[in-house]
């Protein structure tokens, strides 16, 4: 695919339907948990994008049978809860924090050696948030910068992992999930307490495998799992990713004349912060055909363009919209009045420092409209937009957000545009199609 991409100004709005690709978080978890079962699991609407393919290739290297039947349709067959084997090569997590953090948890509990690498972005990201609590459970992990950065190596624990009660300083589903996966193999219960509840896909999918976790407030507890308890379901249907739907929600709201129907969007309440924020901004969106798909809520969402106004939100809602801040910033730029975002310090350790990247690149298109603070943004809406060359920092969410901002303004030239392959390979083709 082309490295650079020209996005033109869109004048007639976006129209039609989008079938939203599978949820990234749930797709990762479907392969990982299926690989620990002992019967084939048929996974449908899997996200066929680079991050999830990194997980697929690692689970294969660990001995699971991963067979693609189609682009988004596969079976994963494990060899039981204790059936993973020592990989003969270094495991490459690519750009994927979810792959690396969840698998550090799982592999900490295995009786064999494994070693991880990843791309330049992942190599900069903090892994101490999982390696430190895992070490407290007895895991043996070595890596750069005092065992907190890639490359990381996991050696067999000297004895069984011990259960732990851990108060995580960050609300992170990746940390929680890593500890839940390790906790399945520990000698006593493990409890993770978060400052604010993060997405609960691991807990929900564990339930589909017969493993009940106990949630109380922002705490989750898992008991050691006995092999007979873990039962692979025949099928897992992955709902569409609200984080991918987010680009169309905002594009539909801000591009005059738009009317879109987004089909099959996961609306688990730990993920729907963007719907609350867009509604608070005055967006015309409605949920239809609400249903449950594979233990997760899903719906179709209709969005029509209209006038948005600024809003404020902070730490309490942040885990429910953590990946949507770049595209919410686009909505804020095109809204009337100011938007104030606080409690978003986690954005500094995503695929790139998203707060800095938003300020730098959005300011090229909207001079003077974005102020960055230590943990948030102040965005002055309804500014004049210009055309510019923008960097994506190889961050898929920056690329897609800049594309929508450019389309709403005078266009944009994206440098390193192909990073959308991390989570949404069809993004540019869909943007093109919806203009017809």
For 32, phi then psi, to 5°, come to: -60, -50
* Pairing of β 219-222 and β 296-304: unpaired
Question: What is the set of active-site residues?
Answer: 323
CB of 201 to ligand S3P, least distance (A): 7
| Residues of span 301-320 touching ligand S3P by CB under 6 A | none
Q: In a 10 Å sphere around its CB, with 0-12 CB exposed, 13-18 middle and 19+ buried, how is residue 14 labelled? A: buried
- Report the residue from 241, 323, 394, 418 that binds ligand S3P according to the rule CB under 6 A: 323
Give the residue with the Cβ less far from ligand S3P, 98 or 258: 98
Q: Cα–Cα distance between 75 and 380 in angstroms, integer?
A: 48
- Report the residue from 35, 47, 275, 322 that binds ligand S3P according to the rule CB under 6 A: 322
Listed ranges 112-120, 153-161, 169-177, 246-254: which one lies at the site for ligand S3P (CB under 6 A): 169-177
Is residue 51 a contact residue for ligand S3P (CB under 6 A)?
no
CB of 28 to ligand S3P, least distance (A): 6
Residue showing the smallest CB distance to ligand S3P in the complex: 25
Give the residue with the Cβ less far from ligand S3P, 157 or 184: 184
Listed ranges 168-176, 282-290, 302-310, 369-377: which one lies at the site for ligand S3P (CB under 6 A): 168-176
Q: HSE, CB side, 13 Å, CA atoms: give it for residue 429.
A: 7
Q: Give me 177's structure tokens.
A: 């999930």
Binding letters toward ligand S3P, positions 339-368, x by CB under 6 A: -------x----------------------
The residues pairing with 339 across neighbouring beta strands, listed in sequence order, are 379
Give the residue with the Cβ less far from ligand S3P, 29 or 407: 29
CB of 97 to ligand S3P, least distance (A): 6
Give the residue with the Cβ less far from ligand S3P, 39 or 356: 356
| Residues of span 385-414 touching ligand S3P by CB under 6 A | none
Q: Cα–Cα distance between 68 and 406 in angstroms, integer?
A: 36
Give the residue with the Cβ less far from ligand S3P, 246 or 369: 246
| Cβ atoms 29, 76 nearer than 8 A | no
- Report the residue from 27, 55, 121, 174 that binds ligand S3P according to the rule CB under 6 A: 174
CB of 289 to ligand S3P, least distance (A): 25
Q: Cα–Cα distance between 129 and 152 in angstroms, integer?
A: 13
Give the residue with the Cβ less far from ligand S3P, 203 or 323: 323
Q: Cα–Cα distance between 191 and 104 in angstroms, integer?
A: 18
Q: Cα–Cα distance between 33 and 184 in angstroms, integer?
A: 11
Q: Cα–Cα distance between 265 and 55 in angstroms, integer?
A: 22
Helix (H) or strand (E) holding 110: none
Distances (CA, A) of 178 to 99, 146, 158, 251: 10, 19, 19, 34
Binding letters toward ligand S3P, positions 180-199, x by CB under 6 A: ------------------xx
Is residue 25 a contact residue for ligand S3P (CB under 6 A)?
yes
Rounded to the nearest 10 degrees, how much is the dihedral formed by the CA atoms of 387, 389, 393, 399? 40
Listed ranges 77-85, 173-181, 328-336, 357-365: which one lies at the site for ligand S3P (CB under 6 A): 173-181
* Helix runs in 125-256, H state only: 128-136, 144-147, 173-183, 201-208, 242-254
Is residue 172 a contact residue for ligand S3P (CB under 6 A)?
yes
Is residue 52 a contact residue for ligand S3P (CB under 6 A)?
no
Give the residue with the Cβ less far from ligand S3P, 174 or 272: 174
Count of residues binding ligand S3P (CB under 6 A)? 11
- Compute the Cα dihedral for 156, 158, 161, 165 and give only its sign: negative
* Nearest one of 398, 397, 340 to 364, comparing CA atoms: 398
Please report the DSSP string for 80-101 in residue order: -TT-----SS-EE-TT-HHHHH
Listed ranges 153-161, 170-178, 413-421, 427-435: which one lies at the site for ligand S3P (CB under 6 A): 170-178
| Residues of span 240-299 touching ligand S3P by CB under 6 A | none
| Residues of span 69-108 touching ligand S3P by CB under 6 A | 98
Q: Which residues bind ligand S3P (CB under 6 A)?
A: 25, 98, 172-174, 177, 198-199, 322-323, 346
């Amino acid at each position: 695919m082309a490295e650079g991409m020209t996005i033109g100004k869109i004048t007639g709005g976006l129209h039609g339907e989008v079938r939203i690709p599978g949820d990234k978080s749930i797709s990762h978890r479907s392969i990982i948990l299926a690989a620990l079962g002992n019967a084939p699991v048929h996974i449908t609407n899997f996200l066929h994008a680079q991050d999830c393919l990194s997980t697929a290739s690692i689970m294969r290297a660990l001995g699971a049978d991963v067979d693609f039947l189609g682009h988004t349709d596969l079976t994963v067959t494990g060899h039981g809860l204790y059936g993973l084997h020592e990989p003969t090569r270094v495991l490459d997590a690519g750009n994927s924090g979810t792959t690396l953090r969840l698998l550090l948890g799982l592999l900490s509990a295995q009786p064999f050696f494994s070693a991880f690498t990843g791309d330049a972005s992942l190599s900069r990201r903090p892994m101490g948030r999982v390696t430190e609590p895992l070490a407290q459970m007895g895991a043996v992990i070595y890596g750069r910068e005092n065992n907190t950065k890639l490359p990381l190596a996991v050696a067999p624990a000297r004895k069984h992992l011990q259960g732990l009660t851990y108060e995580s300083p960050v609300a992170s589903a990746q940390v929680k999930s890593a500890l839940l996966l390790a906790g399945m193999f520990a000698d006593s219960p493990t409890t993770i307490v978060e400052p604010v509840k993060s997405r609960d896909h691991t807990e929900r999918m564990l339930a589909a495998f017969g493993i009940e976790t106990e949630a109380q407030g922002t705490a989750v507890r898992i008991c050691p799992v006995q092999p007979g308890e873990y039962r692979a379901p025949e099928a897992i249907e992955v709902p569409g990713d609200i984080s991918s739907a987010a680009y169309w929600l905002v594009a539909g709201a801000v591009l005059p004349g738009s009317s879109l129907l987004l089909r099959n969007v996961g609306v688990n309440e730990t993920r729907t912060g963007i719907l609350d924020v867009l509604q608070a901004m005055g967006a015309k969106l409605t949920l239809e055909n609400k249903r449950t798909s594979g233990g997760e809520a899903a719906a179709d969402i209709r969005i029509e363009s209209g006038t948005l106004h600024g809003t404020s939100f902070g730490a309490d809602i942040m885990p429910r919209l953590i990946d949507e801040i770049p595209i919410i910033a686009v909505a804020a730029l095109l809204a009337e009045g100011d938007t104030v975002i606080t409690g978003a310090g986690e954005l500094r350790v995503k695929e790139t420092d998203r707060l800095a990247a938003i300020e730098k690149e959005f300011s090229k298109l909207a001079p003077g409209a974005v102020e960055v603070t230590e943990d948030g943004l102040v965005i002055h809406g309804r500014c004049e937009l210009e055309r510019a060359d923008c960097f994506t920092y190889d961050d898929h969410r920056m690329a897609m957000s800049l594309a929508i901002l450019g389309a709403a303004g005078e266009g944009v030239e994206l440098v390193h545009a192909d990073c959308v392959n991390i989570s949404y390979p069809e993004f540019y083709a869909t943007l093109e199609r919806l203009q017809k």
